Amino acid sequence: MITLTQVLEILKKDANFREISAENEYYYNWNQEVTFDTLAYDSRKVNEHTLFFAKGLNFKKDYLLDLNAAFYISEFDYEVALPAIIVTDVKRAMSLIAQAFYDYPQNKLKTLALTGTKGKTTSAYFAKFILDEMNGGKTALLSTAETTLDGKNFFKSELTTPESLDLLEMMAKAVENSMTHLVMEVSSQAYKTERVYGLTFDVGVFLNISPDHIGPVEHPTLEDYFYCKRQLLHHSRYFVANAEMNHFGIIKEELLALELPYAFYGKDTENRILESAGLHFETTGSVAGSFDIRLLGRFNQENALATALATRALGASTSQIKVGLAKATVPGRMELFTAKNGAHIYVDYAHNGISLENLVQVVESHHTGKLLLILGATGNKGENRRHDFGEVIENHKRLEVILTTDDSNHEDPKAIANTIASHVQRPLDYIADREIAIKTAISRTSSPADAVIIAGKGTDHYQLLNGKRKPYIGDAEAAQKYI
């Protein structure tokens, strides 16, 4: 519960309050106390005691007409019967009011936030497995792949970082469920749209940066994308950063200016990977030791080192880090299945050129036999991926490729496949049905030297076709069905 007095205090303190607008008059104070028992940003989820947030690009005045709520908060006076609290920034207001409404759950959890272009989900799972070793399974997790608020039940997330209202409600549930730690991914959009406004994390991690999420609905430029991600530096008590990432210089300068305690990793720092083999690596520095992980690839060892440093800052011992990392699996990221003939089937979420290149390189270096690739490209978005995928296939002549459907949406999957194939000199197969494509690829393997890479969908159990999500068995399930 929260009162109108508390709401106005929060907004005034944040220099976000403009006025209350009611019945054609403006007020700085309201002479009657009001108690709100729910907060909502969806007009379909209100009651007469709700404080409603009118926000969003697609918000319509119609949602407020005849709305049975107590007050609404907005940047815009819609001049409707319902009294309005007018603010300069509704999303900031939503975050701060939600924190008070849920009694500041962030202060009752030790929080670890991860950002970066690649590796957030993988590192978030690594961190959860390590912290679970330390706290006996009391780590809540908010990731692109899955969310858990009790450490046992997992559900699929809609956004990488939820809207502040949902986020604070989830944090409060985690506290109610006796969780002691929360690991979460913080996307650049979260900072751009104030989903984490007013939150400070115990540990922040910056994994890497490369051009991504640049476009009309996300970030106008790489500068904006990077700047938004760097906001995590300003909202962490301790920071871990990859010294090998692009533009690391400014991160270092910014951290020094903030006088924040930090750990850097990568060459030319004390925290380095010394020796690295398939699933084993050795490190030097504050978490020196030898570690095993279940995911191939040097970048996953870097994710593991970043996570080791971050969880160390939260009190994890080297042995807890070792055990956690050795146990960690990540849904849809380098999931490995072994066929009866010994061939390895890799299911990975890689859905752009860079990720696919990394993935293929890793698998190629571990398999001397046949290398099959199941791949499609999304329709009506990321069109340049078709060219990038073509380049990867062209660069790796050993790949035997079966092109297939991957969220073709309003486009023809065959036409998408033809565009990928147009960038490749050799012929590629095409099987529209993704499950049959997977079955076919597995049937073409014969020994442990062979591998099938199923790229793109990761944990998705749907195909986006003609604007609708149609049920799909899932890559991992299809792999297990036919091995």
Q: Which residues are annotated as a binding site?
A: 43, 116-122, 160-161, 187, 195
Closer by beta carbon to ligand UAG, 123 or else 161:
161
Q: From 450, 437, 417, select the one nearest 479 (Cα to Cα).
A: 437
Site for ligand ATP in 170-209 (CB under 6 A): 207-208
Cα separation, 345 vs 445, in Å, equals 10
Stretch that binds ligand ATP, among 67-75, 81-89, 247-255, 349-357 (CB under 6 A): 349-357
Q: Does 58 bind ligand UAG (CB under 6 A)?
A: yes
The binding track of 140-179 with respect to ligand UAG, each residue x by CB under 6 A or -, is -------------------xxx-x----------------
Stretch that binds ligand ATP, among 168-176, 274-282, 347-355, 397-405 (CB under 6 A): 347-355
- Give min distance, CB of 73 to ligand UAG, in A: 12
Stretch that binds ligand ATP, among 85-93, 146-154, 296-304, 308-316 (CB under 6 A): 296-304
193 is in the binding site of which of ligand UAG, ligand ATP, none (Cβ under 5 to 8 A by kind)?
A: ligand UAG
Cα separation, 17 vs 238, in Å, equals 32
Those residues whose C-beta lies under 8 Å from the C-beta of residue 237, and which sit 6 or more positions away, are 200, 201, 202, 203, 260, 261
Work out the end-to-end distance of the chain between its first and last CA atoms, rounded to an integer number of angstroms.
54
Q: Does 189 bind ligand UAG (CB under 6 A)?
A: yes
Considering only residues 36, 51, 55, 393, which one is a binding residue for ligand UAG as defined by CB under 6 A? Answer: 55
Q: Does 408 bind ligand ATP (CB under 6 A)?
A: no
Stretch that binds ligand ATP, among 112-120, 269-277, 398-406, 425-433 (CB under 6 A): 112-120
- Give min distance, CB of 455 to ligand ATP, in A: 8
- What is each CA distance from 17 to 7, 30, 84, 163, 291, in whole angstroms? 10, 13, 11, 21, 52
63 is in the binding site of which of ligand UAG, ligand ATP, none (Cβ under 5 to 8 A by kind)?
A: ligand UAG
Those residues whose C-beta lies under 8 Å from the C-beta of residue 4, and which sit 6 or more positions away, are 30, 33, 34, 35, 36, 71
- What is each CA distance from 222 to 37, 39, 206, 210, 454, in whole angstroms? 41, 35, 16, 8, 30
Stretch that binds ligand ATP, among 77-85, 116-124, 217-225, 279-287 (CB under 6 A): 116-124
The binding track of 196-215 with respect to ligand UAG, each residue x by CB under 6 A or -, is -----------------x--
- Give min distance, CB of 461 to ligand ATP, in A: 17
Q: Does 222 bind ligand UAG (CB under 6 A)?
A: no
Considering only residues 144, 180, 231, 307, which one is a binding residue for ligand ATP as defined by CB under 6 A? Answer: 144
440 is in the binding site of which of ligand ATP, ligand UAG, none (Cβ under 5 to 8 A by kind)?
A: none
Cα separation, 372 vs 425, in Å, equals 17
Closer by beta carbon to ligand ATP, 121 or else 405:
121
Cα separation, 127 vs 305, in Å, equals 10
Q: Does 74 bind ligand UAG (CB under 6 A)?
A: no
- Whether 138 and 108 have beta carbons less than 8 Å apart is answered as no
Q: From 93, 84, 108, 75, select the one nearest 6 (Cα to Cα).
A: 93
100: left (phi over 0), alpha (psi -120 to 50) or beta: alpha
Q: Does 355 bind ligand ATP (CB under 6 A)?
A: yes
Closer by beta carbon to ligand ATP, 7 or else 464:
464
What is the amino acid identity at position 281?
Answer: F
Cα separation, 225 vs 231, in Å, equals 10
Cα separation, 20 vs 69, in Å, equals 15
Closer by beta carbon to ligand ATP, 11 or else 392:
392
Cα separation, 264 vs 154, in Å, equals 32
Tell me the number of residues near ligand UAG by CB under 6 A: 21
Those residues whose C-beta lies under 8 Å from the C-beta of residue 28, and which sit 6 or more positions away, are 19, 20
- Coil/strand/helix, residue 416: helix
Residues near ligand UAG (CB under 6 A) are 41-44, 55-59, 63, 159-161, 163, 187, 189-190, 193, 213, 217-218
> Site residues (CB under 6 A) for ligand ATP?
116, 118-122, 144, 207-208, 299, 302-303, 333, 348-350, 355, 358-359
